[in-house]
Amino acid sequence: MVEYKCFKCEKKIKSAALEKRFVCPNCGGKIFYKPRTKVKKIRAV
Ligand SMILES: [Zn+2]
């Protein structure tokens, strides 16, 4: 599942919640961004 972060209040919002309304349930903000997911470490052999 994808999680977004609200640009205003910086709270995490699950993408499922945004599918209904693309509005932050906490502050009503409409700007979101994806927090960086865990960086994949690739080791070259
Ligand atoms: Zn918010």
Burial (0-12, 13-18, 19+ Cβ within 10 Å), 6: buried
Would you state the pLDDT for residue 37?
64
**Mean of all residue pLDDT scores within the chain:** 87
> What is the C-alpha separation between 27 and 30, in angstroms, rounded?
9
Q: Give residue 38 CA to ligand 1 midpoint distance, Å.
A: 22
Predicted confidence band of residue 9 (pLDDT cuts 50, 70, 90):
very high
Q: Give residue 2 CA to ligand 1 midpoint distance, Å.
A: 16
Q: Give residue 9 CA to ligand 1 midpoint distance, Å.
A: 4
For 20, which DSSP code?
H
Q: Which CATH number fits domain 1-45: 2.40.240, 1.10.20, 2.20.28, 2.60.40?
A: 2.20.28
Tokens standing for 36? 């960086």
CA-based R_g, the chain, Å? 14
Q: Give residue 44 CA to ligand 1 midpoint distance, Å.
A: 40
